[in-house]
Structure 1
Amino acid sequence: MRKQKGLALFALLVFLFLFFPLFIIVVTSFGENPTIQFPIQGFTLDWYANVFRISGFINSFWLSLRVSLLATILALVIGVPAAYGLSR
């Protein structure tokens, strides 16, 4: 099989483009400032502790969990019979 270096480079650039903003958010979440500031000043886990103190975050988490479970069940109910039908 022939290696396609151009395609591999393009795929790498796409992944970097998609994951770099997530990396910045995760790194800045450990900083002490309430706004995104790079490079971070100080190190704290207070923002993660706030997730368990504020009821809005907890309610949002449970809603997201219910929606994701419902979407997974719906995808399985539709996808498994469809895959079975297409394979026959």
Structure 2
Amino acid sequence: FYRGAGCPKCLGTGYSGRLPIYEIMVVTPALERGIEAGLPGSKLREIAVADGMVELAAAGLKQAIAGKTSVEEVYFKLST
């Protein structure tokens, strides 16, 4: 996993710039039916994930595995 070493340009933080980490919930037919049925958010999330949505934490971990950020930074940003 990536760990920034720090330099004068990044002021010793090991990070420079921003990296977007996001989740996109596409309203599929199954999700639309769940919304119309008034299902709770937790169930709608289950449907969305089953239909291919990548959750925010998983998207962050994917960026850490790719060496674009650290696991610690993903955890910090998701916990604030």
Structure with greater helix percent = 1
* TM-score w.r.t. length of structure 2: 0.27
Higher relative contact order, chain-length normalized (CA < 8 Å, sep 6+): 2
Q: Which has the larger radius of gyration?
A: 1
